[in-house]
Structure 1
Amino acid sequence: MTRIHGLDLARALAIIGMMAAHIGPKNPVTDGYPSVLFAVLAGVSMGIISRGVADGAGDLLRTRFRLILRGVILAGLGVVLAALQSGILVVLTAIGVSYLLLTPVVTWSTRRLGVLLGVLVVAGPLLVAAENVFTLTWSDELLPDLLVGAYPLLAWLAYTLVGLLIHRVVVRPATSPAEPSGVVRPVWLAALGLALLGATQLIIELTGFRVGPNDILNEFGAYLQGEPHTGGLLDVTGSAGAAMAVIGLCLLVCRAGAVVWASYPLRAMGSMSLTMYITHVIITTLVDGTFVSLHNIYSGQPQPYLPKGDFGWSMYTPLSDSPGFPGLGNPDAPVFDDPGMGDPDWLWVFAAQLIGLLIFASLWRWRFRRGPLEWGVHRVIEGAVGPAPDAPIQPAGRG
């Protein structure tokens, strides 16, 4: 299957954005938007996987089985990765659960999917507001983390559904001459995303609702929250708009052959985004000492988990006071963006990791079709699903 260059470029930007969020100081560009872009792109992939049954062709049962297996694998990887380290909040579990819950709707019409998206966008912030205003009591500790934690489930369902709709309306080839051309659709997607993001930011600035869940809010403010990862209405609309704009622009610029050629390292990185994401999380937590196997080696006891709302180890421990550097695990150490620190250490670590991943991805992609983890997931799913009843058995290849 031919890869879509613009989507691979957007995936690379999502990975790089999450790397910056996890390694560098907090800033409004990387705080929240990259992980949402990652989720929306997962929804686009969901549309690509199910495109046959959405068009009324293909084996519905086998397609749903593929999506369910993929969701289970992603959620399982997320749980394992979260258990192995305490420095990064892992997004894979929310994406995997979104796959599982949205598998039944892949055959719905575009109009019905749009209605479902509207319901999720409106209803999700209601649950978040109820949690903030009334402090709901939960019977299971895992349930509030899933529903109203750093990756609120209804918001992540909405993001994945946005990606599914982007595939239907923008990415999938036109089925009739009356549909907009391949150039017009990315332009409209980028324009709509920028308009949605701009309108959201304007409302936030005019109303002052850019607040976090730990602030004291009235019911209306709790519903409208615009702070990243809160799941409030303004957070969902602004983050979805930003993701739409990035995807539209990436699809547009990759129509130029020179851009496709020049962006090969980034596209290679995006073509194996699962491998890149998990490798980044492991490397980053090994370096900063929050990987579980390093707790007793360096500090004698486990590092404390980050408080809710902190999305990176750089919030409390700079690399100059981390393992391999003096003074691991010192919670009183200055953060990277302390104006008295001079040149920030995080920038060197970010650059080294980014260059290393780009080189690895470029060399791997030159030789292999899929990334290492992508190949493994593909083999597990295809091995479980098996060949189609009328498909000839193919000899094993290198994948």
Structure 2
Amino acid sequence: MTRIHGLDLARALAIIGMMAAHIGPGHPVTEGYPSVLFAVLAGVSMGIISRGSLAGEGDLPRTRFRLILRGVILVGLGAVLSMLQSSILVVLTAIGVSYILLTPVITWSTRRLGVLLAVLVVTGPVLVAAEHVLSFSWGDHAVADLFLGVYPLLAWLAYTLVGLLIHRLVVSPAHQNQTRRQIWLAAIGLALLAGTQLLIELTGFRVGPNDILNEFGAYLQGEPHSGGLLDVLGSSGAAMAVIGLCVPACRAASVVWASYPLRAMGSMSLTMYVVHVVVTTIANGTFLTVYSIYGCGPQPYLPEGEFGGRMYTPLSDPLDFPGAGNPDALVFSAPDAGEPDWLWLLAAQVIGLLIFASLWRRRFRRGPLEWGMHRVIEGAVGGTSNSPTAASPRG
């Protein structure tokens, strides 16, 4: 089956946005929206993978197993990347967990999925607000991070479910008047984004997760990755708008031709993301930080302030870091917006990955990691395709 060009273009925009967030100075546009777009697109892919089985053209138990195994692989990759470096908060684990938890609902009707989405959107911020007001004692840091970390679980389940519904209602080839549906998707997304931004400006609820808010403010907060209501609605709206604009735009042959390097990047988004994380953390000296923290490996080798001005300072409370008890453990502060060096690293990575993806895509239909994942999954379920040139799913 052929790929959906607009989805590949949207994936490339998500990857480049996350690269800017990881390398450049902090900004709500890059820190929040790209990773949410990546999660929503993962939900669209979930719908694409399960479409044949739901239509009676495939084995539903095998499809479920494929989705769960895909989720497990993403969780594993996310855990490995998180252990190998400390400067980037890896999104793959949250997406993998969402795949695993949402696999049982792929057979639900669209209406039931909509109700589930509404419940997640409403209850997720309740948990965030309750934590701000009551300060729960979770006992296990991993559990607290799963539900209330940078990628709060209920919010990320909602984002993945938004993608699943977008596939059902907008992208699926079973629907006629797809272009009209996609324009409506973009319009609704832009309205959500504009409405939430207006509320944020009027109320000032874009505050950091560690700031003290009253119950209502904690529920509504729009800070990226906070899991507040305005954050979830605005981020979902931005993702809907990007997908709703990219998919119909790529129906024009000129756009398809001009966007080939970006679409090639988007077609192997997992490979692009992992390579970016590794290259960035090697460049800023935070790769293999477990060894660096305990003094058993190389310390950051770049001059202080290089590539975005990341500064290396002692932890105020060593117990808050995996190197607990070591007062010499290092943390990495936000980049200095006045330091231009980060632009060179970002530009070099974007250009390099675009060139690599374009050349690879001319020879293979799947990226290196995508091919490896496909081979593992199909081998586990009894598939036969072991070549990176084998046909890939749409989108």
| TM-score greater than 0.5 by the shorter chain | yes
One-letter amino acid of the structure 1 residue matched with residue 129 of structure 2? A
The AA in structure 2 aligned to 1:268 is A
Relative to structure 1, the CA distance from residue 299 to residue 350 in structure 2 (aligned partners, 3 Å threshold; closer, same or farther) is farther
Cα distance between partner residues in 2 of 1:331 and 1:50: 42
Structural mapping, 1:129-148, within 5 Å: 129-148=129-148
Q: Which residue of 2 aligns with 1:100?
A: 100
Where do residues 185-196 of structure 1 align in structure 2 (5 Å cutoff)? 185-196=181-192
1:395 and 1:79 map into 2 onto residues whose CA distance is 26
Are 1:319 and 2:307 counterparts? yes
Shift of 1:207: 1.4
Q: Following TM superposition, by how much is the alpha carbon of 1:295 offset from its aligned partner in structure 2, in angstroms?
A: 5.7
Q: Which amino acid aligns with 2:159?
A: Y
8 Å CA contact retained: 2:222, 2:230: yes
1:47·1:168 contact (CA, 8 Å) conserved in 2? yes
Contact 1:152 1:230 in 2 (8 A): yes
* CA positional deviation for 1:336: 3.0
- Residues 182-235 of structure 1: CA deviation (Å, up to 9, x unaligned): 211110110010001011111111111111111110001010010000000000
Inter-partner Cα distance in structure 2 for 1:289 and 1:185: 46
**Aligned letter for 1:319?**
F
What 5-or-longer segments of structure 1 have no aligned partner?
305-315, 324-328, 388-392
Q: Name the CA distance, whole Å, in 2 between partners of 1:317 and 1:95.
A: 32
Alignment of 1:58-137 (within 5 A): 58-137=58-137
Q: Distance in 2 between matches of 1:334 and 1:161?
A: 31
- Which residue of the partner structure matches residue 279 of structure 2? 283
State the 1:298 CA deviation: 12
- The answer as to 2:171 corresponding to 1:171 is yes
User: Corresponding residue for 1:18?
Assistant: 18
Superposition pairs of residues 326-345 of structure 1, within 5 angstroms: 335-338=335-338, 341=339, 344-345=340-341
Q: Which residue of 2 aligns with 1:240?
A: 236
Q: Deviations over 1:312-355 (max 9, x none)?
A: xxxx94427679xxxxx9979994313xx5xx000011001110
Mind listing any 5+ residue stretches in structure 2 that lack a counterpart? 312-328, 391-395
Do 1:285 and 1:291's aligned partners in 2 also have CA atoms closer than 8 Å?
yes
**1:168-189, Cα deviation, whole Å (9 max, x unpaired):** 00110135xxx5x121111011
1:354 and 1:272 map into 2 onto residues whose CA distance is: 14
- Tell me if 1:254 matches 2:250: yes
1:288-323 alpha-carbon deviations (Å, 9 max, x no partner): 01101696499877879xxxxxxxxxxx94427679
**Is the contact between residue 309 and residue 335 of structure 2 (CA under 8 Å) also seen in structure 1?**
no
Q: TM-score, normalised by structure 1?
A: 0.87
After superposition, residues 141-220 of structure 1 pair within 5 angstroms as 141-175=141-175, 179=176, 181-220=177-216
- Equivalents in 2 of 1:87, 1:397: separation in Å? 32
Query: SS in structure 1 opposite 2:3?
Result: coil
Deviations 1:23-74 (A, max 9, x none): 0001122011000000000000000000023334421100000000000000
CA contact (8 A) 1:24 1:347 kept: yes
Letter in 2 for 1:361: A
Q: 2-side partners of 1:4 and 1:130: how far apart? A: 41
CA offset digits 1:216-258 (Å, max 9, x no partner): 1000101001000000000000000000000010002101000
Note closer, same or farther for the CA distance 1:17–1:384 as it changes in structure 2 (3 Å cut): same
> 1:326: which partner in 2?
none
Native 8 Å contact 1:289 1:298 kept in 2? no
Change (3 A) 1:45 1:395: closer
More off after superposition, 200-209 vs 152-161? 200-209
- The structure 1 segments of at least 4 consecutive aligned residues displaced by more than 6 Å after TM superposition are 297-304, 320-323, 329-334, 393-397
2:352 and 2:219 map into 1 onto residues whose CA distance is 42
Give aligned-pair identity as a percent: 73
* Structure 2 match to 1:309: none
Flag the 1:347–1:105 CA change in 2: closer, same or farther, 3 A: same
Note closer, same or farther for the CA distance 1:396–1:264 as it changes in structure 2 (3 Å cut): closer
RMSD over aligned CA atoms reads 2.6
Q: Deviations over 1:148-187 (max 9, x none)?
A: 1000000000000000000000110135xxx5x1211110
Kindly provide the amino acid, as one letter, of the partner of residue 247 in structure 1.
I
Say which is worse superposed, 124-133 or 271-280, in terms of deviation. 124-133
Counterpart code for 1:274: L
Pairing partner for 1:357 from 353, 357, 361: 353
Q: Does 1:378 align with 2:366?
A: no
**1:94, 1:153 within 8 Å by CA — same for their partners in 2?**
yes
Change (3 A) 1:275 1:395: closer
Number of aligned residues: 371
Q: Conserved in 1, the CA contact under 8 Å of 2:306 and 2:342?
A: yes
| Contact 1:286–1:294 under 8 Å retained in 2 | no
Structure 1 counterpart of 2:262, which letter? L
2:70–2:96 Cα contact (<8 Å) kept: yes
SS at match of 1:30: helix
The residue that corresponds to 1:39 in the other structure is 39
For 1:29, what is the secondary structure of its paired residue? helix
3-state SS of paired residue (1:231): coil
CA contact (8 A) 1:121 1:158 kept: yes
Match of 2:268 in 1: 272
Q: Deviations over 1:87-122 (max 9, x none)?
A: 000000000000000000001111110000000000
* Separation (CA, whole Å) in 2 of partners of 1:69 and 1:273: 18
Amino acid at match of 1:249: L
